[in-house]
Each structure stands twice: as structure tokens, then as C-alpha cells.
Amino acid sequence: MFRFEDPAVLGLLLLLPVLFWLRYGRGRGSSAIRYSAVGDVRAAGAGRGSLAARVPPVLRGLALAAFVVALARPQTGVTTENVLTEGIDIVLVLDVSSSMLAEDLEPNRLEAAKTVAADFVAGRRSDRIGLVAFAGQAFTQAPLTFDYGVVRSLAGALEVGMIEDGTAVGMGLATAVKRLQASPSESKVVVLLTDGRSNRGEIGPVTAAHMAEALGVRVYTIGAGSRGTAPVPRPDGFGGTRYVRMQVDIDEPTLQEVAELTGGRYFRATDTESLQAIWEEIDELERTEVEVENFTQYEEEFPVPLAAGFLLLMTELTLGHTLLRKLP
């Protein structure tokens, strides 16, 4: 940032043209001096034109302008921002089982979930975000962090097949709750998305929900998938792909119970648009008012124009007594 501490002083710059007109612009009476021979005088002044005669006034004018600028106290400042409000700790839990390849959401359930999750992360400001992926097992893809770029990158790298297949909903939720266990934040949230019912893992979804309830973790659950059947790609054995219609089997009663136990909500996303709307609604539900204090520290820069003014003035005086000295 740049500013003048006393900008009104800059008004003096408007007086400089007036002063120079009074000093140099008005007609001045001519004077004469007698020489016995004018040849030497003419030779001495042969290299000095009207342009050279204007150099000292110009230098003096620039020096005065520099002094005025210095008197106005130019300053540069650096602004720092302190966030006073404590944010929310949020862990996203995404299903990466093979059924997430179903194409009832565009382009498929997993890619749609990754896209809207990345948009959700990008919209946060003062919240820590973590990421858990699960299929037959669960693991932490990203611990709680303010580095939203890393979380979005890791979410984009999620793929079906990176974990053994299955749907361990309870393990995914329990892993997220474990990540939030040591969190000092007053508000702790899990957003869990799955397209099936739990069929793997040592911890069931309801048991994990009781763990979350005990630790004050609020859980939002999302069931992703259309109603009825959905096309799922399968290898055809000849290097190609065939599509199989599979029944959409989301355990909605369990997901509703998990959400209700923890004070959260259950949502059903039957297409990409509804999935986007659900994440936007959760985003609004988990907003915090951020209080920010801005501090600007200014440094004085007047020595620069002040030094420039003295340099110009010394140059004008030096030239006036040497190269541009007037004859007596």
C-alpha cells in the first residue's frame, strides 16, 4: 500500500508554475556591457543555446517539487490479517466401492461426488478439512488441514479399486470420528457419502454414530443414487466394457438414524444436480461468521524524494558555477 500522510501539502506543487513564471517568464530589461572586442565573447558563448540556459531553472524546479513531495510524507505499508473466529473441523467421508462407478449421476457417482466435494472445500475459509475414503476398509486420505488445495488434489485422486471392494460405512465414519477426537474446535462435523449399505468392517454405522454423539460430532449423511436400477460398467472379458443394470440399494433407515443420533441430517441425491444442491445446503448450515482484524504497518519513504531534491539542487548549483556559469 502507498499513501501520503499529509496529502494536502501536495497542493504546493500548483504554486511552482506561478513562481517560475514570476521569476523567469516575465520580460526582463536588457543590459549592455562594453568590450574592446566581441569576437572572444561570441566564441565563448557559441555552444550555449537557449536550451542550456533553461537547465538550471528546470533542475531547481524539480528540486522544489521533490522537497514538496518529501514534506507530504510518502509512506508504504504492509497489511496483515488476523482471523479471530475459530472455524469448524470438517471431515469428508467418501465411498470408493465399485458401485460408485454407476452412471446414474454424471459422469458417474464417484466423479460427481469428487467434483462437488472439491467445490465445497474451495468455499471454506477458516475451517480445517480432512478426507477419509472407504470401501471394504477405511483410511485417512488427508488429515485435518487448512491447505485446501491439498485436500482438493487428494479428493481428485480417489479411484475405485484403490481399496479392496466392499462397503464399510461404519469403519469410514469411525475413522473420521477418530480424526476429530483430539480436535479443540467447538464445532466438529462429518459429511458421509455412500451409495450402498454396510457389509464390511468391525464397526457398524450405528455404533460409529454413538461414538460421534459421545464426542459431540455432528454427522450429515448422503445417499447417492437414483431410485430403481442404475447402469454399472463391467469388463466383458474381451478388453471392452458392458453395462449391467443393478438395483440401487441404499440403507436409508440406517443413514437417517446415524444423522438423527448426532444432530445432523440425511439427504438423498438422485442426480448430479440434487447432489450439488445438497452440498450447498450443508455448506450454508455449517457456516461461521468470520471476524477479521486488519493491521497496516507504514514505513516513511520521505528520505527518497528529500535526497533526490538535494541532489538536483547541488547539480543546479554546480552547473551554475562551472559549465553554465554566466559571464560577468
CA 40 to chain centre: 73
Tens-place pLDDT, residues 179-203: 999 898 889 999 999 999 999 999 9
* Distance (Å) of CA 40 to CA 43, 100, 196, 321: 5, 101, 108, 20
CA distance 58 to 20: 9
Tens-place pLDDT, residues 250-304: 999 999 999 999 999 999 999 999 999 999 999 988 876 656 666 778 888 989 9
* Cβ(136)–Cβ(168) below 8 Å: yes
pTM of the model: 0.65
Whether the predicted pLDDT of 33 surpasses 60: no
Tens-place pLDDT, residues 64-88: 899 999 999 999 887 776 655 667 9
| Domains present along the chain, CATH in parentheses | 2-79+299-321 (no CATH), 85-285 (3.40.50.410)
Using CB atoms within 10 Å of the CB of residue 178, give its burial: 0 to 12 exposed, 13 to 18 middle, 19+ buried.
middle
Whether the predicted pLDDT of 117 surpasses 70: yes
Whether the predicted pLDDT of 327 surpasses 70: no
Q: Which of 56, 81, 44, 90 shows the shortest CA–CA distance to 324?
A: 56
**What would the mean pLDDT of 133-155 be, rounded to a whole number?**
96
